[in-house]
Structure 1
């Protein structure tokens, strides 16, 4: 066995590429355009790769080595790492179409400390129906939901005078797929579930439609003991009620890169919630703190919410591997930490590996209040 790499503190960034996922989907019998739609959820890997050089330099300035590792190479790479000087950061997640959720579990297998919540939470947040059930059990304002599989109810949804919102249960963390993802009746929801099953071979989560504006809450604990004062909470105004698959593909990954080069890319506008609805801002910070205490969210995460005009807050989803190179997370790093993305990531790693010896790297994910 190769001797373990001992010595210089090292940040390992594990990522699954769109190309690798595309090959696996094709081998499994998926066809276009579904392959491109599904793999677009790995856009953070595509968008991050050109910045590996910047991240390496930012880490080096702080005394940390940087190693980006493709997910398939992680098992062989991990067995050579020293837990005392290594920190693993998982860039891409997934338990169904994608496999990034295996990275935190592999790190635990080899005794390597990680940035972020533990592997059980990484798996939970990828199943919207189960995650919603747990959030409601914790008393959080997550909409009740039904679950359908190819036109058949597994769990019927609650009655809803406002209609329903229907989306794949395990495909990424979008707030919608098609323009007609909102429907009026359970029968319409079942029809959408048939389309979802035909396109993506997935169950459909069916939630009562909730009114309000879309909100993204982002968090990165650059300093290990950072609290909810560092949570960034913004309205995300795109000009539409919810984001569709087409909207997402126009912003990120290979399609987003082409749109940017052609000058056709238009990013949603971000507005701080605290300046408009301070009560809702405080409620969202309380929700995040309860997710930390109840589920063990740590270090880096995001939440998608809907906020009504009277400050009623609905927690739609949470993510433990948010899209770091996305426009909203970059804006968060600048606004809340005064750092570009690469600098914020490097500082986060250095603060755990070097600056705060009172926190062993293995305990860093449990350091938040």
Structure 2
């Protein structure tokens, strides 16, 4: 039997940017969109370290660019192959094709099945599913280019406006927390003009930002293995500029020029244990009802009275980002490369 092989499939910033420019996106907007794939840029220098840590566990490591994946995955033996999708996407990005390609070739995947790649990348549909499950996610309206598709509910605290399919939970601009629905519609026009996307419009919720990260380093890892941290950056929410300071070349430049300081991570359980318990129960529900497994993250807002708001979940979290590295160190006592290799080994054991 051939040696167990972990195949890490990823889309590059350059490939995405070239495609977007060919499709008529402005240079700056193509740069902003493709930035979301910068985790593949940041992780690439660590491929030799991942290869070494995998080899120590009897596993071969094979990083594969997305465009080469159809050829590489075809005909591989299912018993000794595991496919890990690093970069996702169903609209601007194409990473969601990787788990589907694995299924087409009868290969097992690390992470959620391919149906969840489509769900979590569409915030409006994802929120509807989370709401049906009875989870505490803010209700949402949907607007496209100045027109309401679904009107949002009333909100005394104003509304938060974010792209429906682009990237994470960011608001793009500082005025994404707005006080009237005419402003929300104006923002929907700006988002459509720049990124050709609809916007989700949700009642603004108070609280501190919380990131909950999970990696199934051990075969029996469950919600207790979640790392739950306040992410205190000094701002209420992340804008496009803030987000671009996290990864890749733009992030490195921001740090070098003193324009960015890593947010502080503080364990939620240290000051609000009740909220941490609630978050673990939400993770348990998502693992059971939706099939989250192996690797994922969730974003919350937590109020001082322990009220928890589930904002969204991700099945391709930013592995090389500071928060996920910190989680690997604090929860598992491992570097990112070691944690990735051990997670693959655990899956092969199963």
Sort the TM-score into its range (normalised by shorter chain).
over 0.9
Aligned to 2:266: 271
1:7 Cα deviation after fit: 0.2
Cα deviation, residue 198, structure 1: 0.4
CA distance in 1, matches of 2:85, 2:256: 28
Residue aligned with 1:275, SS: helix
Q: Does 1:14 align with 2:9?
A: yes
Aligned length: 350
| Conservation of the 8 A alpha-carbon contact between 1:140 and 1:315 | yes
Residue 172 of structure 1, CA deviation: 1.0
**C-alpha displacement at 1:143, in angstroms?**
0.4
The question of whether the paired residues in 2 share the 8 Å contact of 1:214 and 1:306 is answered with yes
Partner SS, residue 139 of structure 1: coil
Q: Structure 1 residue 349 and structure 2 residue 331: aligned?
A: no
Q: How far 1:259 sits from its partner (Å)?
A: 2.7
TM-score by length of 2: 0.98
**Structure 2 counterpart of 1:228:** 223
- Residue equivalent to 2:287: 292
> In structure 2, how many angstroms separate the alpha carbons of the residues matched to 1:348 and 1:222?
4
Contact 2:211 2:229 (8 Å CA) reproduced: yes
Partner of 2:159: 164
Partner of 2:296: 301
Aligned mates of 1:95, 1:118 — CA distance in 2: 14
Where does structure 1 lack aligned partners over 5 or more consecutive residues?
Answer: 1-5, 360-369
| SS of residue in 2 equivalent to 1:33 | helix
- 2-structure distance, mates of 1:336, 1:279: 20
1:89-119 per-position Cα deviation (integer Å, ceiling 9, x unaligned): 0000000000001111110000110111100
Q: When the two structures are superposed, what TM-score results if normalisation uses the length of structure 1?
A: 0.93
- What do the CA deviations read for 1:52-109 (whole angstroms, capped 9, x no partner)? 0110011011110000000011110001311000000000000000000111111000
Aligned partner of 1:338 among 333, 336, 349: 333
RMSD after superposition:
0.9
Q: Deviations over 1:100-159 (max 9, x none)?
A: 011111100001101111000111000000000000000000100000000000000011
Q: What SS does the corresponding residue of 2:18 show, helix, strand or coil?
A: helix
Alignment partner, residue 48 of structure 1 = 43
Deviates more, 1:17-26 or 1:172-181: 172-181
- Which SS does the other structure have where 1:172 is aligned? coil
Displacement of 1:39 in angstroms is: 0.7
1:189 equivalenced with 2:192 (yes/no): no
5+ long unaligned stretches in structure 2? none
Work out the CA distance in 2 between the residues paired with 1:352 and 1:140.
29
Runs ≥4 in structure 1, deviation > 3 angstroms? Answer: 260-265
Q: 1:158·1:208 contact (CA, 8 Å) conserved in 2?
A: yes
Contact 1:174–1:244 (CA under 8 A) maintained in structure 2: no
Question: 2:101: which partner in 1?
Answer: 106
